[in-house]
Structure 1
Amino acid sequence: MSSSSSAAAALGPSVRSAILWAVYARFTIGCVLLLGFGYLYITDTRASIHQWVVVPTLRILHTDPEEAHHAGIRYIKGLYNFNLHPRERGDHDRRKGDLQIEVFGYTLDNPVGTSAGIDKNAEIPSALLALGPAIVEVGGVTPMPQTGNDKPRVFRIPSQNALINRYGLNSEGAEHVAMQLRERVRQFAYDHGLGLEPESERIVLDGEAEVPPGSLVPGKLLAVQIAKNKATPDNDINAVANDYVQCVNMLGKYADILVVNVSSPNTPGLRDLQATEPLTKILTAVVGAAKATPRKGKPAVMVKVSPDEDSDEQIGGICSAVAAAGVDGVIVGNTTKKRPDAVPVGYIMPAHEEKLLTEIGGYSGPQMFERTLKLVKRYRSKLEDSKVLFATGGITNGKQCLEILNAGASVCQMYTAMMYGGVGTATRWKQEMREAMKQGKKSIQ
């Protein structure tokens, strides 16, 4: 064999090896890039997959709406633990400053919040805050654990993007939620080099870590909704007030805002507590307990009212109780016992949805918007200027949010809109607000 033939034979395997390594390297780089871009896309709240793929998939996998909700909570919690959760990328709100508002002495990044019911037991407040809202409300929380009403207790009305629920304030109880929230504080202290000693918790809760003690995020607040146990007699106002005070004593130091729920339609007798005299006693007790919260900055106190108690006398009585008790603000409103007409006008709902409308429970959905808008205007006209108004009920987009803000509210909260729109809803609302503001049609001032 010639020397040239020997060289070719020797070179052959080397060339093949080089080619294989080149292919492998390109494949590996391609996979890394694909995974990287996939991670950035899937974990971005702007990704349309969250609304058009994730939400429908959850409905298919879990036909019961309550189980779909629980599954969503589990998925988000698991993803958050591995830093794979959806989040709003960048710092647009703070950098632009065009949506900033002042609430309870804090400068908030934007006027968007999530309502109680999404995270009843404070399992994912940090993950929800990462989705873009400036306020996350957890709860409602009762002093003692209670199971709520019998299942099924949640029903979808897809043609209306609406829900009917009769949960009945199912809750793991104040002690459990307090443990969840305390663990957040301890983890925050540890992650920021403060250690795990009791003094570390005090530093965070007293605001010395330069973040709100509830949210633990600059420019954002955590609200904790509290309620009475179903077993507590409605006609024993002292016992009812004590239920709320117990919740304040256990949860107050972990909250930026305490929300007194006297408006759930699914707990018998609860809405009767909105009458002026009992409401004044309850709110006075809560405000007193909140002022005794063992930290430097005390939580603000708000009361969540029903959209169904809407006569001039009822609204006037609630506003009188708010003023007399020294409450800081009002959340208007909650789900309604009424059944709004279908939209668009003249639309004939499928027979199975018409049947669902006969289910007992509170209705929520886009049809509530006009009522919420009117109630905000009425409450704003009767409350002192210093009292803060939040609005929830039927708000489905940024344009409507601006209408609510210009009617006198400081914050717009979402629940049903997020159930149908997915984890990117807050981001969309803010983008829609910015687009409307660019057109000069609306502002948040």
Structure 2
Amino acid sequence: MERTHHSMLQNALEACRKGEAVHGMKGASAMMSLQYIDIPKCFVIDWMHNVLLGVVKALLNFWLGSTHKDKDFFIGNKISLLNQRLKQIQIPDFISRRQRGLEEHAHWKASECREWLIHFSMPVLSGVLKPYPLVHYSLLVTAMSLLTKDVISQDEVDLSEQLLFEFCRQFPNVYGVTSQTMNIHLLKHLANFTRLHGPLFCFSCFGFESMNSYLMKMVHESRYINNQVSFAIAMSKQLSNMLDHFDDGDSDTKHLVNQLGSKVLLENKEQIYHTFAMGKEKSLQRTDPVFRLLTSEMQVESPTAFLRLQKEVNIYHSEGYHQAKTRNNYTVAFMDGDEEEFGSILSFVRSGHDMYAVIQQFETRHFSFDEETEMEVQASNLRQYLQMTLCSHIYHITGQKDRKLVRVEHVKKMCAHKCNQSIKVY
């Protein structure tokens, strides 16, 4: 039965009369007196704590914890192999934190759990985790990859809800009845909150957590903490407004005000994004194989080649840029007509006012389970999900196509890349 605002009010009143919880309601809240509050719709589930720090860490404990070494899902004796696979994944710049080894999973931050869940876990676990737990886990990965997209359709929300309900229904069959925690139950409500409020990143705690470090810098002693924070924010706001009253030539004073101003207060200024070449440009020689990819009109424009490009907030580099040793900003998704394709940027070319990426295009196919996994799961109640395209954001690289000249406007995003696999990243 779905909770409504009225039913929750009635449960709260009954709990007050009985002095005990009624359907999870322990009593009344002052916020219930606000007429514009719809309790079951306004109090959302934070996926950072519920899914990442809750469900993901619980699953890691099941798989790797020594207390479960007699279970079918236990893989704690294969951590070396899992870490080896994990280290083979080349990540782009926007994944801020390099993944630590699985032996440190208890200390992973929420961002590490996020990258593990959405991008890394399925390629790493495939062929290691037993078939039934693996396919069961893929339901969670698929659902969360959809609910965290920048743009999500109603059909995708419905599919995510179906997958999460099945994940929860089968959870005790895989991990035992006592494993059914509140975090597992809350997964069933994520799709509905997405219908109400948009993708999960719209109402997660990630943004608030990232501001904690700034708030900490405002506190200098243990007394009157509220006053210290309020004063610091007020002063920062005033200093920010003072900048408009200085002369253009008073640069030293402006610099001092900027230094004193707090980074906590981010002004709502319009962002102006540009696309431009980075580093030195060299003339493209006629003997260069790339030159033959250019049209005759482009060849007479004195084309130049370069290794790095900034597009909006992202910096792409080519395979020939050797200073980036730990990051892969050249495996990308791009549009070829109406189709999304994948490839590796070999170099960039400027011809006149236009810029292009020279891309070695990949042959790809959607992620799929191996034959042994499919055969074993065929006899289970998860077999219907083998007919779906699970983990549709993950692709296998099966070969290479021809090199292609792609306008930089058609390069859409960077991808993490693992041996013979490409992981599409949002």
TM-score by length of 2: 0.27
TM-score by length of 1: 0.26
Q: Where is the strand percentage greater, Structure 1 or Structure 2? A: 2
